Amino acid sequence: MNATIEKPRVRLVMTDTNRDALQNKELVYKTSELNLWYGDNHALKNIDLDIYENEVTAIIGPSGCGKSTYIKTLNRMIELVPGVKTSGKIEYRGRNIFDKSYGVEELRTRVGMVFQKPNPFPKSIYENVVYGPKIHGIKDKKVLDQIVEESLKGAAIWDEVKDRLNENAFGLSGGQQQRLCIARCLAIEPDVILMDEPTSALDPISTLKVEELVQKLKKEFSIIIVTHNMQQAARISDKTAFFLNGEVIEFTNTDKIFSNPADKRTEDYITGRFG
Partner 1 sequence: MKLIDHTKVLKHMKPRIVSNIFFRLLFMAATIFGLLILGILLYRVITQGIGYLDFQFLQNLPSRKPEQAGVKTALIGTIWLMGVVAPVTLLLSVGTAIYLEEYAQKSRFTRFIQVNISNLAGVPSIVFGLLGLTVFVRALALGTSVLAAGLTMSLLVLPIIIVASQEAIKAVPKELREASYGMGATKWQTILHVVLPAAIPGILTGGILALSRAIGETAPLVVLGLPLFLAFLPKSVFDMFTVLPMQIYNWTGRPQEEFQGVAAAGIIVLLTMLIIMNSIAVFIRNKFQKRY
Interaction site with partner 1 (CB under 8 A): 75, 77, 80, 82, 104-109, 112-113, 115, 117, 119-122, 131-132, 135-136, 170, 181, 184-185, 188
**Minimum CB distance to partner 1, residue 235 (Å):** 25
Minimum CB distance to partner 1, residue 138 (Å): 12
* Torsion angle (degrees, nearest 10) of CA 44, 98, 217, 159: 110
Alpha carbon distances (Å) from 4 to 7, 11, 253, 255, 256: 8, 18, 11, 11, 10
CB of 202 to partner 1, least distance (A): 15
Inter-CA distances, 227 with 47, 58, 194, Å: 18, 7, 11
Residue 176 or residue 266: which is nearer to partner 1 going by CB? 176
Q: Which is nearer to partner 1, 132 or 261 (CB)?
A: 132
Q: E strands along 169-209, which residues? A: 192-196
Minimum separation from the CB atom of position 184 to partner 1 (A): 7
Nearer to partner 1 by Cβ, of 123 and 228: the residue is 123
Would you say 177 or 266 has its CB closer to partner 1?
177
